[in-house]
Structure 1
Amino acid sequence: MTTSAFPFGRLIRLALLCLGAIVFLAPYVFMISTAGKAQSDIFTSSLSLVPEHFNYVQNFTKALSRVPMGRLLWNGVVVCGLIFFFQVLVAIPCAYAMAKLRFRAARMMMVLVMLGLLVPIHATALPLYVAFDRTSLLNSYAVLVAPFTISVFAIFMFLQFFRAMPDDLIHAARLDGMSELGIVARVIVPNAWPAVTAFAIFSVVAHWNDLYWPLVVISRQDFATPPLGLMYFRAAEAGDDYGALMAATLTITLPLVAVFLLAQKRFVEGITMTGLKG
C-alpha cells in the first residue's frame, strides 16, 4: 500500500482511534478475564489475561446463586423503563411548545432548562429524602422513579430536534383541524423516533448504572437495582471472591452492551439530527 493511497494523516487518526478503543475496552477485557479466574490466579505477581484455570462456570454459578440476580435485573428494567416512559411523556410536549409555539415565557423557560442542566441530583438528595421519608415511600419503585420523571436534558435534546422540523408540516396539520395535542401525538411523535432512541440510550445507561440515589433510599434487596445489588453481593456474600464478583458485574453490564449494539445506528442518527454532535 503506497503512502498516497494511505496518507500519513489518516494513519495518525486510526492510531489515535485504536488507542482510545484500547483505553475504553481495557476495563471490560480485564473484567471478562477475571470472571474466569480462580482466586489463586487473580492474586499472582504476573499479569495474564488468559486464565490458567477456566472457572467461568463456577464463578457465574456463584454470581447467580448468592444474590437474587434475576430480581436485580428485573428491578433495573422496571425502574429504567418507568423513568424513560415518564421522561419522554413530559419532555416531548414541553419541547414542542418551546420549539413551535409562540408565548411570552418561552425565553424564560429556556433559561430554566439551561439552569436545570447545572443542578445535579446530589444537590437535591437531602430534601428529596426527607420528603419521601415523611410520605413513607422509601424502599419502593416510586422513590427510585419519581425524582427523575422530569429530565431537562430530554427537553433540551428534543427541543433541538423539533426546531429542525419544518414549520409547514405543523401548519398543514393545523389546517386539517388537528389540535395541538393531536399534532404532538400524530405528527411530532412518529417523526421523533431517532431522537427518542438516542435519548433512550442516555437515560437507560445513566439510571441502570446509578448507585448514589438507590444507596440513599433503598435498604431492602427486594427493590435493589443492579449496582446496589452488587454492593450487597460484595460486602455480604462474596468477600474477596473477585472472580465471582466480576462474573456478577459482567452479568449486569451485558444487557447495556447488547441494547447499545442493537440501537447503535438509531443512536448515531438521533444525535446527528438533534444537532448535538458538536
Structure 2
Amino acid sequence: MLRHIKPGMLVFSVLYILLGLLLLLAPQAVADVFCIALGLLVVLCGLQSLYGYFKKDNGSIRAAVSLLLSLPTIALGMWALLCTVQSAMTFEWLLPLLFGLMLLVDGVVRAQSSFALAKRKGQKWWVVLLLSIVSLLCGALLACSQLLNNRNVDLLLLSGIFLLAEGILNLCCTIYIAMEFHALDRLDAAKAEMETAAAPEPSPEAPSPAPAEPAAEESAETDLPDVPAPELTTEPPEPDQEPTADAAT
C-alpha cells in the first residue's frame, strides 16, 4: 500500500493543517511572516537585476532597464522588511489569493486521482471527485475574496478554516486512494493466478526423429582396416658362376 501513497500529498496535507491552525490562532503573526518572506524575495530579485546591470554593458538599453527595475524593487523589499505592520496591512489581500490558488491546485490533483481510480473500476471514486469539486469551489472563493471584503468577513480566519479542512480532507483522500489501489492490485493478482491454474497443461512434445544413417560407401570406407604399404627392399644381384675344370671332367 505504501507504494501508492504520494509523499508530496502527505506533506502538503500536514502543511495545510499547520497553516490553518496558525491562521486560526495567530493570524497577524502569519501575515507578518508572509510579509518578511515576501520582502526578502523582492530584495533578492532587485539585487539580481542590479547585478545584471553591472555585468552588462552600461551603455546598452538592457543595462538601463535592469537598473530601472532593480532600484524600485530593492526599495519595495526593504519597506516590506522594515515596516512590517504597514506592509502586512497592504499585502494582506494577497494571502487569501495565494491560499485560494493552493486549494485550486490541490483540487485539480485530487480530481486526476479520482479519474485514475475510476479507470481501474475502483469503488466510490465519485466521492473523491465530489470532494475535489468542493476544494475547487473553496479555492475559487478565496481567490475572489475581495468580493467579500465589504461584508466584514475576516479573510484570514476564513482562510484558516478552509486550509484546516483541506488538510484533513486531503490526508483522508490520499490514504483512501492508496488503500483502493492496493486492493485492486491484489484482486488483479488473484485473477491472474486463477487463470493460470485453469489453463490446460501443454501436451508433451513428440520425440525428435533419429538422424539419417550415413551412406553405405561411407560406412565401408570407415570400416576398412588400415593396411600398411609393402616395404620395398633392394638386394644386390648374385654374381654369375663360371664352370670349373672339375665340373667339366
Fold similarity call, TM over 0.5 = no
User: TM-score interval w.r.t. the shorter chain?
Assistant: under 0.3
Q: TM-score if structure 2 supplies the norm length?
A: 0.28
> Which structure is richer in relative contact order (CA contacts within 8 A, separation 6 or more)?
1
Query: Which structure: larger Rg?
Result: 2
